Structure 1
Amino acid sequence: MSPPALPEADTPGDVTLRPAPDVADDLNVAPEHGLTSAEAATRLVSYGPNDLQGAPPVPWWRKFLRQFQDPLVYLLLVAVAISLAAWILEGAVGVPVDVVVILAILLLNAVIGYAQLRKADTAVAALASMTAARSTVLRDGRQSVVPSSELVPGDILLLAEGDAVGADARLLTATALQVQESSLTGESSAVTKQAGPLPSPMPLGDRTNMVFKGTGVATGVGRAVVTSTGMDTQMGAIAHMLATTEQEDSPLTHEIALVSRMLGVVVVSIAVVVMVALVLVNGVRTGAGFVDVLLLGVSLAVAAVPEGLPAILSVVLAIGVQQLARQRAVVKELHAVETLGSASVIGSDKTGTLTRNEMTIQKVVTASGTVDLTGTGYAPVGEALVEGRLLTEGPQLSEARALLVQGSLSSNAQLTETDGDWTVQGDPTEGAFLVAVRKLEGGTQRMDAYRRIAEVPFTSERRMMSTLQAHPERTRLMTKGAPDVLLAHCDSYRVGEEVRPLDQGVLDHVLAEVEALSSQAYRTLGVAYRDVPAREVSTDLDHAIEHHLVYVGMVAIIDPPREEARTAIAEAHRAGIRTIMITGDHPSTAARIGADLGIIEEGGRALTGVQLDELSDEGFRQAAREVSVYARVAPEHKLRIIDALQADDRIVAMTGDGVNDAPALKSADIGIAMGITGTEVTKDAAKMILADDNFATIVQAVRQGRVIFANIKKFLRYLLSSNMGEVFTVFLGVVLAGVIGLQSPVGGGLALPLLATQILWINLVTDSAPALAMGIDPQTDDVMGQPPRNPAERIIDHRMWLGIILVGAAMGLSTLATIDMFLPGGLLPGQHSFQEAQTAGFTTLVFAQLFNAINSRSETSSAFHRLFVNPWLWGAIGVVVVLQVLVVQVPLLQTAFSTAPLTLTQWATCVAMGSVVLWFDELRKIVLRALDVRRSAGAGASPAATPATPAPRG
């Protein structure tokens, strides 16, 4: 079957002006059945994926060539050209070793940089697949959820509150449907939709019988047939105008670029000083001598500036984000990890996040009394008991059965069983009714007699939901909602099969029962109904029909707290992170759960939305500082709480699942959407998605975010101090050449502590693998025993800079001391040749940097603390050692790098001198720990116990 012809993109009126069934016919689809899976697959091949085309992908070879687009690389290429010219002018005798070695190192460096880029790109692509939007469709006559990229023309979309619209589609039905189209039209108000044809062609913002890709359902439900996908959609037309998307650098990326530029200026200045000193001290007069000086200076600049930092940073962040995803926290943007470690407040919903979200009806309260239902979870196994006895036929069973049947029918949830495992698709509270009704005799049979006609959907403002149900004997409106809200729409109540007027005494009694159950941490939902005369029956309902209802009773639902949430909250408090709970539940329920979880003290209170509205602006800010449990709040309250906390310089992580939570998640520093119960609109607004809707996962993500940030500091400390070691070695080697006996070798040439090729070799083998290994280092210090990081604080602070300089100096001095030990003359007279001394210094510096890799895993903890927890680091060190042995001992590489073979004793000497860096840093850390203890004692608290201070938002 060939795919149907689509309407022309420039004639949208063809779709909007015609009846919806005709549009479905044109697309060869039955609205009540949808496409078959086979037909959908065929159309996907014909029309292509439902994706917007961005900038064309960059070919691999261009990405590879970009590794050479660096000013420092240009400097090296200039040096290669000069060296090659000098070799030609001197007769082109032999092989230009320096040229070959430098070019080989440049090529290897480009290969490593390209491999790192590929790894980061792969991780980002995997992350994109985790956060891909999904759509609910009707296929093969069944409701199913598919990736939005697989939507095809003719698919029947099932739309509900919070869904992201996956493609342009013509509405077939619409019930109280409103769609937020600001992303497309710029209009902030949601657009009310209807299914009928339009009288004439309309501009985009007025096509009320269409829904468009990239918009979100604000309220209501509907069905629509997909008419356009991919670049044929209205969003695709906009995408045509966007060839590229420029992304702002994160603060961390900006700071690292600033550090690199600053180092570049400093090191180039030092390199110039070194070159001038070499020329003056050695009396350089020949072209070859000038070439050697130039090569050394350029190589020093290239080696000392960590130009690979951005690539390593991207890889480390990408790996960290993948680790978070494996822990069920999907971070949508790599650099959002930076903010995680700074979070000082976590605001959370209650249901499903702090509790198990396995809603269970335990009590059914009607006019005749209370029925206890046994069993927990979604398996419909249990009994109905009254005072311990099995409930039998009579008025109380009639009331309980009517309540559960009507509560189940006033729902959109589905209860399914697969291999003995019962699950609820849809709202867990609605699912609890489906479970409970199966525990009463005759419940499901009575449900089967009804057929739904229409629905008035639930909204957070109304806190009610109704369905109109057809029965062979009647048409009945069935409503459920918060009891206090529902009772305002009732004027009678049911006793057995009898309906009686609802007087104030009965009303007060019901509200007292609500209060009593709520104080026991139960959530209560009431059920009411009325029989609707034929003249009022319609498929297009609104809330005006919800009047003169008959109150049946209420259920008490329990959702027990998660044990792991209590542990996670305690861990968050230890880390200086305040936890607040924001829920729509009753204040007593919220306070009880808050106390059980350790958010507030036993007997603490919850502040309600009504009470918040009564506060002045200053009173509201004060409440945000002090109150940790909020109940009966609307989405706008959540937004105000976030704003108040941020105004108080707090870094706020906030959870949400409903479409009305989207503004709050966007406003929060870290918006966190629920992966199971969250709407597509909420997921789109969030920076992080919880795959398991579990609060403990948030705290685990904060921990991992802190570990990732600590690892970034580790490899920065390592790279910068190691590069400073190279700078100190060459600079001090030139300045102190006479002191250490560094004189021109026999046969002429310059007296250099290291050659240009040796510096580039060190830069190649020690900068990449160990730094990357430290980027995935397991937790070394107790990251959750420290207060949140101040985002305005420099990643490389004064203490870290001082450590970098001191360690670099120790590395340079130990290298020069080794050279002095091997050379005749100087402070430590030796008996070896200049080439052996230079090789020993070269090798010592390599080992010093490897010892520095072990040092750099913590600013203050001993290098021997958790020494062997990172096998990748030890593997990287092993590889570098093997490569260094080859460079020193293999004749071909000796020629390339001007090295001499070393004896076993000489190797041991190099290792011992390289380890000086380790022992020096151990002493430095002892001093730092002593200073920290003294500072903590002066403050009257240990660092772990010190409350987090507000972090300026910079």
Structure 2
Amino acid sequence: MVDRLNDQSASATAKDEAAPQTATSAQTQVQTQAQAVESEEVRAQKALLGDTDPSLTSAEDVARALNVDPAQGLSEAEARRRLEQFGPNELASAPPVPKWKKFLAQFQDPLVYLLIAATIISVIAWFIEKANAHPGAEGGEALPFDAIVIILILIVNAVLGYMQEAKAEAAVEALAQMTAPQTSVLRDGKVQRINTADVVPGDIVVLAEGDSVSADGRLINAASLRIAEASLTGESVPVGKKPETLTEAKALGDRANMIFNGTSVTQGTGRAIVTGTGMNTQVGKIADMLSATEDEKTPLQKEMDYVSKILGIAVCIIAVVVLVALAVLEGFNDTQDVIDSLLLAVSLAVAAVPEGLAAILTVVLALGVQRMAAHNAIVKKLHSVETLGSASVICSDKTGTLTRNEMTVERVVTPSGEVQITGTGYAPEGKMVGIDGSGLDANPALRTEVIDTLAAGALANDGDLRQENGRWEIVGDPTEVSLIVAARKTDALRGYDRFNRVAEVPFTSERKRMSIIAADATEGGKLTVFAKGAPDVLLSYCKRIAVGGQVRPLTEGDRQTILATVERLSSEAYRTLGQAYRPLGTSNLSEVPGIQSNAAGQVTDIADQAEVIEHDLIWNGMVGIIDPPRTEVRDSVAEAHRAGIRTVMITGDHPLTAARIASDLGIIAKDGKALTGDQLDALADEAALDKATADVSVYARVAPEHKLKIVESLQRQGNIVAMTGDGVNDAPAVKSADIGVAMGITGTEVTKQSAKMILADDNFSTIVAAVREGRVIFDNIRKFLRYLLSSNVGEVFTVFLGVIFAGFLGIRQPETVGVTVPLLATQLLWINLLTDAAPALAMGVDPQTEDVMNRRPRKVTDRVIDASMWGDIIYIGVIMAVVTLIGMDMHLAGGLFTDRSVDALGHEAQMTEARTMGFTILVFAQLFNALASRSHLQSVFVGLFSNKWLWGAIGLSIALQLVVIYVPFLNSAFGTTPLGPLAWLECIGLAAFVLVASEIRKVVLRAMAARR
């Protein structure tokens, strides 16, 4: 939605300098349209605030008008009531298509039109036949059975297609629910995550970096809050937000105390009261300007359309050639000949095109997506499944993806020494001990320094630790929470609870540090800066060091010792964070030297004055945080390597930490090195970058823009790249990757919206499992395509060769004239209905083969139906046609292989029996083909019974074929007659030759492959 709004919304909300309170003409037009269709829910929302402009009203007055306590938020009961009153927080969409329209849509297909035309021709032929019958004589069929059967089969096909599409839609809808955007709100005094659709007017929205703004609202408070509003204003630079009440009405882009639906937080934190949801937002007002777009067809669907078109054209050409040949050689003697010829053309078309292909393809993809979702890989769009199986490089973050993301502070290093913090996980249970496990009673200075270091890290922190139902749960970044856990283990915050945060300079990936300013309640509100960040970065802002309770200048020797410790801890796989502080000596922030204030004496955005705050810091110490690798990841990396997929680690951690974890996981060798962001920047050009990324598999100390460079470089080398990300700044790289993967637990909403896949468990092994599933799905698609197309080509060749060689085979007797088709259109329709749906769907869920992860990734440019598969299709199609026609010939007089005399019932009865033979042979040949088509090279007897669904589909098809042959009224409808035991042996024996021929071809192909 955001992308679609860029151009149109920008013009609709541009500031009118001459009259700031006047909307642009585009806005006026849209608002007029919105009022014309304004819903009851929107009118109810507007009544809450009346004519009040929230931007010109204090946050307290807005809260009173909306009857909400900003400190507690709405209660759950009140939120539910408001949701019923005001409706879900969603833009109005087109009304759902009624079921009856969806059912009728199944008939909107050129092939169906062709069959309807065949029905009309069949009815006309029946009437002509009845009209030409002599009075008193029995004139042909009592009812136009051909027409009736075609109509019935069209209805059955429509029902199956409708049911399949309904299942696929249900799967996609369930997927949409799993990936539904969420919003943090304050309810009953607790911050909780809810579906964005459940946000109501009066909710207190909690904003953090990376969040998507889900509704319009009035800011209550903000800390260095910046929001990207390009979707509404066209302004590419994020807008700084402040809660102060405006003195005059301003255009949308200048309403600094308002937030708007469809925008995203790029920096800082804040809270806002929701003033409008759904269509009562600025986005809602311009929603009518958005033109609806149809869902784009997947590449597979496009290729299937292309294949069907090619088959259709080929059949039309064949039909024209046959009709012209018949007209020249035989001539059309009467109307019946013309009708029979047209029905022949229809028969060829029906035989060629697999009617249910599109629906089967959609259902197979939807089922695959559901299986992935059950294994924590949520694929947002069906067509992404096709790309997954082609992945050749997986670029993964380290923390939480390759590791468990259970960050634990294990080491604390201060100027007086080093201690160990016991306990693992997020439960605050542990204590500080010496490296050798001894107590610290003999070293009070070290103990004090450790307490001060942990306290600084816990104060300069946006995380939270809470206990819910006996379980400890974290809120925020796991690295930050690990500092809080360590502080609670050591009771480091005792005495520091007197500090209250008054301002914040937030962490960014560029700054690699964070600072807060806190007021000391016991010292008259005196201000102190507490900071944490990458030790090498934070150290550059320190000029002093705290040792044994005293502060002295930081010497060069101190710096070298600290940096050497960072190297040592990093080599031991610890992530290091430094802590520092600085008393500001005043209780008024505006009195700090260098701080800028406005005319009213208010300090301007502190985030823009980081250099003033973060200088002359006092070094406390550093912590070593461990995040052990996931035990299952090493096997997944090895599996990816066997599959020809390269694993690349990209992290902001220290190079030694990254290299250690990567070597433990098998991504690089033990002596492998990591490339840093600075080294990437030092590369001369794209050629040098491409050379580096072709060889290096670990990147450390990188910024988000480096991730994008790495992805683009790998893509230039012809790779299909999967890229993981969680932060807002990862979104460009995730979006540019062929397979963008967002973290479901730690990922921001912006990144989730940019991604094609979401990991519900943030686990690298899930990516590999998804790639494996993508390969299985693609393999299965090729299986049922091979099966469907070879079966349909077999039908085409049966009709075509049967007409051309009708005289040789005895299908047409010497004394007859006109066209005699080997199989009726109704029989061909029944074959397609019988063999297309159930067996093809069963093949779509075929179990994976042993070699699925032992072969190189396929290229996206590779055709789904390549030359080798076309060879299979034509070869099997010809065999199928030949055995069918041989079976018919064996039951006809004047045939090529046999010359059975015409019995007392005459040629028509014999033709009916021969057609029943051909009809049945073709059905069984296609069922044998279903078994053979499961692999291009592997013998059918390998894993013959592994797919129980396929055997069930085959059994169902056989049962239905028996019904058509042995139920009397269906004999008339389908032109069949009961077969004897010998005939059944002939049918099964001839049909089985398809399996024999397929096995012979596979033996030859395997021998040829072995010689290469």
Into which bin does the TM-score normalised by the smaller protein fall? Answer: over 0.9
SS in 2 for 1:358: coil
2:664 to 593, 596, 606: 596
**TM-score (norm: length of structure 2):** 0.89
Deviation string, structure 1 residues 85-121 (Cα, Å, up to 9, x no partner): 2322333762111111111011111111111111111
Contact in 1 for aligned 2:722/2:738 (Cα 8 Å) = yes
Corresponding residue number in structure 2 for 1:766: 835
Corresponding residue number in structure 1 for 2:545: 493
Corresponding residue number in structure 1 for 2:8: none
1:884 partner amino acid: Q
Corresponding residue number in structure 1 for 2:987: 910
Corresponding residue number in structure 1 for 2:810: 741
2:465 partner amino acid: L
2:924 to 840, 843, 847: 847
How far did 1:380 drift? 2.5
- The question of 1:572 aligning with 2:640 is answered yes
1:620 partner amino acid: L
Q: How does 1:37-56 map to 2 (within 5 A)?
A: 37-56=76-95
- The question of 1:516 aligning with 2:568 is answered yes
How far did 1:7 drift? 4.6
SS in 2 for 1:915: helix
Corresponding residue number in structure 1 for 2:440: 391
**TM-score (norm: length of structure 1):** 0.94
Q: What is the Cα-based RMSD across aligned positions, in Å?
A: 2.3
Corresponding residue number in structure 2 for 1:554: 622
2:440 partner amino acid: L
Contact in 1 for aligned 2:839/2:953 (Cα 8 Å) = yes
Q: How does 1:316-715 map to 2 (within 5 A)?
A: 316-386=364-434, 387-392=436-441, 394-418=444-468, 420-440=470-490, 442-474=491-523, 475-537=527-589, 541-542=606-607, 543=610, 544-617=612-685, 618-715=687-784
Cα 1:12–1:428 shift into 2, 3 Å: farther
Comparing 845-854 with 501-510, greater Cα deviation is found at: 501-510
1:51 partner amino acid: E
1:230 partner amino acid: G
1:34 partner amino acid: G
How far did 1:738 drift? 2.8
Residues in 2 aligned to 1:227 and 1:655: alpha-carbon distance in whole angstroms = 35
Contact in 2 for aligned 1:745/1:834 (Cα 8 Å) = no
Residues in 2 aligned to 1:252 and 1:843: alpha-carbon distance in whole angstroms = 32
SS in 2 for 1:910: helix
Unaligned runs of 5+ in 2: 1-40, 132-138, 591-602, 904-909
Unaligned runs of 5+ in 1: 936-954
Residues in 2 aligned to 1:184 and 1:81: alpha-carbon distance in whole angstroms = 56
Cα 1:320–1:674 shift into 2, 3 Å: same
Cα 1:733–1:361 shift into 2, 3 Å: same
Corresponding residue number in structure 2 for 1:884: 961
Residues in 1 aligned to 2:312 and 2:941: alpha-carbon distance in whole angstroms = 33
Contact in 1 for aligned 2:813/2:894 (Cα 8 Å) = no
Cα 1:620–1:243 shift into 2, 3 Å: closer
Contact in 1 for aligned 2:42/2:279 (Cα 8 Å) = no
Contact in 1 for aligned 2:798/2:885 (Cα 8 Å) = yes
1:215 to 241, 263, 280: 263
SS in 2 for 1:390: coil
Cα 1:338–1:844 shift into 2, 3 Å: same
Q: How does 1:222-371 map to 2 (within 5 A)?
A: 222-277=270-325, 285-371=333-419
Residues in 1 aligned to 2:631 and 2:512: alpha-carbon distance in whole angstroms = 29
Q: How does 1:791-870 map to 2 (within 5 A)?
A: 791-829=860-898, 831=900, 833-870=910-947
Contact in 2 for aligned 1:656/1:678 (Cα 8 Å) = yes
Residues in 1 aligned to 2:396 and 2:536: alpha-carbon distance in whole angstroms = 25
2:392 partner amino acid: S
Cα 1:204–1:537 shift into 2, 3 Å: same
Corresponding residue number in structure 2 for 1:947: none
Residues in 1 aligned to 2:857 and 2:661: alpha-carbon distance in whole angstroms = 26
SS in 2 for 1:888: helix
How far did 1:13 drift? 7.9
1:655 partner amino acid: T
SS in 1 for 2:606: coil
Residues in 2 aligned to 1:59 and 1:644: alpha-carbon distance in whole angstroms = 48
Corresponding residue number in structure 2 for 1:921: 998
How far did 1:773 drift? 1.5
Residues in 1 aligned to 2:150 and 2:815: alpha-carbon distance in whole angstroms = 25
Comparing 521-530 with 8-17, greater Cα deviation is found at: 8-17
1:123 partner amino acid: A
2:682 partner amino acid: E
2:809 partner amino acid: I
Contact in 1 for aligned 2:500/2:519 (Cα 8 Å) = yes
Residues in 1 aligned to 2:282 and 2:383: alpha-carbon distance in whole angstroms = 30
Contact in 2 for aligned 1:13/1:201 (Cα 8 Å) = no
Any runs of at least 4 consecutive aligned residues in structure 1 with deviations exceeding 4 A, and if so which? 2-13, 275-284, 744-750
Contact in 2 for aligned 1:819/1:837 (Cα 8 Å) = yes
How far did 1:390 drift? 2.3
1:174 partner amino acid: A
Contact in 1 for aligned 2:464/2:474 (Cα 8 Å) = yes
How far did 1:800 drift? 0.9
2:707 partner amino acid: K
1:190 to 230, 238, 251: 238
Residues in 2 aligned to 1:277 and 1:96: alpha-carbon distance in whole angstroms = 29
Contact in 2 for aligned 1:7/1:15 (Cα 8 Å) = no
Cα 1:275–1:679 shift into 2, 3 Å: same
Residues in 2 aligned to 1:121 and 1:524: alpha-carbon distance in whole angstroms = 48
Residues in 2 aligned to 1:214 and 1:514: alpha-carbon distance in whole angstroms = 42
Cα 1:679–1:12 shift into 2, 3 Å: farther
1:27 to 61, 66, 70: 66
How far did 1:857 drift? 1.2
Percent identity of equivalent pairs: 57
How far did 1:768 drift? 1.3
How far did 1:357 drift? 0.6
Residues in 1 aligned to 2:51 and 2:668: alpha-carbon distance in whole angstroms = 57
Residues in 2 aligned to 1:350 and 1:181: alpha-carbon distance in whole angstroms = 31
Contact in 2 for aligned 1:780/1:865 (Cα 8 Å) = no
How far did 1:449 drift? 4.1
SS in 1 for 2:489: coil
How far did 1:453 drift? 2.9
Corresponding residue number in structure 2 for 1:87: 126
Residues in 2 aligned to 1:522 and 1:663: alpha-carbon distance in whole angstroms = 29
1:927 partner amino acid: V
2:409 partner amino acid: I
How far did 1:12 drift? 9.2
1:98 to 146, 153, 158: 146
Corresponding residue number in structure 2 for 1:939: none
Contact in 2 for aligned 1:655/1:671 (Cα 8 Å) = yes
Residues in 1 aligned to 2:224 and 2:244: alpha-carbon distance in whole angstroms = 14
How far did 1:291 drift? 2.7
2:376 partner amino acid: R
Deviation string, structure 1 residues 865-889 (Cα, Å, up to 9, x no partner): 2222222211111111110000001
Comparing 266-275 with 476-485, greater Cα deviation is found at: 266-275
How far did 1:283 drift? 6.2
Residues in 2 aligned to 1:378 and 1:438: alpha-carbon distance in whole angstroms = 10
Residues in 1 aligned to 2:425 and 2:838: alpha-carbon distance in whole angstroms = 50
Cα 1:3–1:80 shift into 2, 3 Å: closer
Contact in 1 for aligned 2:219/2:271 (Cα 8 Å) = yes
Contact in 2 for aligned 1:9/1:232 (Cα 8 Å) = no
Comparing 922-931 with 730-739, greater Cα deviation is found at: 730-739
Aligned length: 933
Contact in 2 for aligned 1:3/1:46 (Cα 8 Å) = no
How far did 1:649 drift? 1.6
SS in 1 for 2:806: coil
Deviation string, structure 1 residues 245-277 (Cα, Å, up to 9, x no partner): 234333322222111111100012223334455
SS in 2 for 1:438: helix
SS in 1 for 2:560: helix
1:132 to 175, 180, 188: 180
Cα 1:885–1:589 shift into 2, 3 Å: same
